[in-house]
Amino acid sequence: MEQKREMLRHMLAALAYRTQKALRGAPADFGEFRTAPDVRTPRELVEHMTNVIGYTRTFFVGGTCRPESLPTLAAEAERFHAVLKQLDEQFGNGAFDRISPERLLQGPLSDAMSHAGQLALLRRLFGSPVPPEDFVFADVSIGNLSADQSDPVAPDAEWSTPSGPQRRREDGA
């Protein structure tokens, strides 16, 4: 069980890293960017991620999780990281008697990671793309669930903006 706990804790750290990668350097008005009427804004998406992680925490502490909306993306991101830390503490101390580590991974943790990817996609649609990197080499550390994440260790040397050069394929095309 200890290995599963460490894997879940690593997943939370990776979620913190990828979320901050998508938010780092975002323009001030990015939080309210709406691509269509029924599509969440980045601020609403981070709020939802907080709800997903908070819901996950209820499997350990009981209760419900329905926090009020916060007015800014920065405030939502700060709360998100705080809730990640609270869940990490439960993973380190709690018993998995109400839900298995596998179900946590396949359900709410994978859901939240998908939303981190949506944030990166929204950045590109907003015209402020996130530079790609090889996440295999990312400096993800168990316990670092804050907004203070390291810079990319293996960023791509070439990457494209909407009007910039395309990355070369391995076959040279």
Q: What's the pLDDT at 171? A: 41
Residue with structure tokens 């790609």? 132
Confidence of residue 158 (pLDDT cuts 50, 70, 90): low
Q: What's the pLDDT at 159? A: 56
Q: What's the pLDDT at 83? A: 96
Say yes or no to pLDDT of 23 above 80: yes
Q: Which CATH architecture has domain 2-137?
A: Up-down Bundle (1.20)
* Token digits of residue 58: 């209820």
Tell me which residue of 124, 125, 15, 151 sits closest to 77, measured CA to CA. Answer: 15
* Token digits of residue 147: 């907004």
Confidence of residue 67 (pLDDT cuts 50, 70, 90): confident
Q: How far, in Å, CA of 124 to CA of 136, rounded?
A: 22
Collapsed DSSP state (helix, strand, coil) of residue 45? helix
Percent of the chain at pLDDT exceeding 70: 90
Q: What's the pLDDT at 1? A: 80
- Mean pLDDT computed over 73-101: 92
Q: Which residues pair with 155 in a beta bridge?
A: 133
* More reliable by pLDDT, 93 or 172: 93
Give the pLDDT confidence of 38-59 residue by residue, as tens digits.
999 999 999 999 999 999 999 9
* More reliable by pLDDT, 55 or 170: 55
